[in-house]
Amino acid sequence: MSKTWLITGASSGLGRLMTERVLARGDRVVATLRREGVLDELQQRHGERLTVLTLDLTDVSRIREVTREAFTRMGRIDVVVSNAGYGLFGAAEELSDEQIDHQIATNLTGSIQLIRTVLPHLRAQGGGRIVQVSSEGGQKAYPNFSLYHATKWGIEGFVESTAQDVAPLGIDFIIVEPGPTATDFATGLVHGTPMEVYEATPAGDVRRAVADGSFEIKGDAARTVDAMIATSDEPNPPLRLALGSSAYTGIKQALEERLQALEAQREVAYSADGN
């Protein structure tokens, strides 16, 4: 049975691949992007099964317009994929106020507003599924990515809470957590202004690793997208989906370290209770 998808950030990377894959199997897609013309070839090939709309997630009023138009045109949307976003690269004090504001407005506030906007439409049609593309960086943190991590940890908390709110209404969520994956993510990084004081710190180490190509990238984009689609097709998917061995091992290690630290604090934690 064919499905209808709304996919943001469809011009490149995982969003573009997912759009291509679900169209190829006969589904319908509303694809959003910031630059017109990028999907013209796909549009010609798939005709009315692909609707392309322009959307910048920092424009909340436009999010509402696009969502209205998408549901009006399609009648029903089965899966909403909140994928649009980018990475801000630099130690915290190397970043400008404008860079910080734009990162939060795009990755966090934009994703929140997209989800808030689609919820009434999903309720009206009796349910649906929202796939939020996060990252292993929503569960662990690398040096030099502090603001990116702030948005990913933030959106995961928002989704985990909202999922509980709307589960009785037939709406569920999948938080996708890919590890480093061979897409154009690195070329789309926005860089802060490097400060010499950070050259001999972990922030500098990561900066050099990304620049010289030694930062390990194990994830395959096509296999990642295939796993996302297959999980989205499941009747009862997990809330969180780690993709790639780097994501699995990195998240597992981070959770184990946090649990170990928590267990060591048990006596102190209980001491704060009232009598």
> How much is the average pLDDT of 126-145?
95
212 or 141: which leads in pLDDT:
141
The alpha helices in 167-220, defined as continuous H runs, are 202-212
pTM across the whole model:
0.93
Q: Given this model, what pLDDT does residue 185 score?
A: 65
Asked if the 4-271 domain carries CATH number 3.30.1490.190, the reply is: no
Binned at pLDDT 50, 70 and 90, residue 183 comes out as low
Q: In this model, does residue 182 exceed pLDDT 70?
A: no
* Other CB atoms within 10 A of residue 10 CB: 30
- Name the E strands within 103-185: 128-133, 171-178
Q: Given this model, what pLDDT does residue 211 score?
A: 82
Percent of the chain with pLDDT over 70: 97
Calpha distance 129→131 (Å, rounded): 7
Percent of the chain with pLDDT over 90: 84
Q: Given this model, what pLDDT does residue 186 score?
A: 65
Q: In this model, does residue 215 exceed pLDDT 90?
A: no
Active site residues: 134, 148, 152
Measuring CA to CA, how many Å separate 210 from each of 34, 63, 226?
Answer: 26, 33, 26
Q: In this model, does residue 177 exceed pLDDT 80?
A: yes
User: Could you state, in order of their start, the residue ranges of all structural domains in the chain?
Assistant: 4-271
Of 180, 192, 23, 210, residue with least CA distance to 96: 192
Considering the chain, what is the average pLDDT of its residues? 93
Query: Residue 51: in which H helix or E strand, if any?
Result: strand 50-54
* Other CB atoms within 10 A of residue 222 CB: 13
Calpha distance 206→262 (Å, rounded): 28
Q: CA 220 from chain center: how many Å?
A: 17
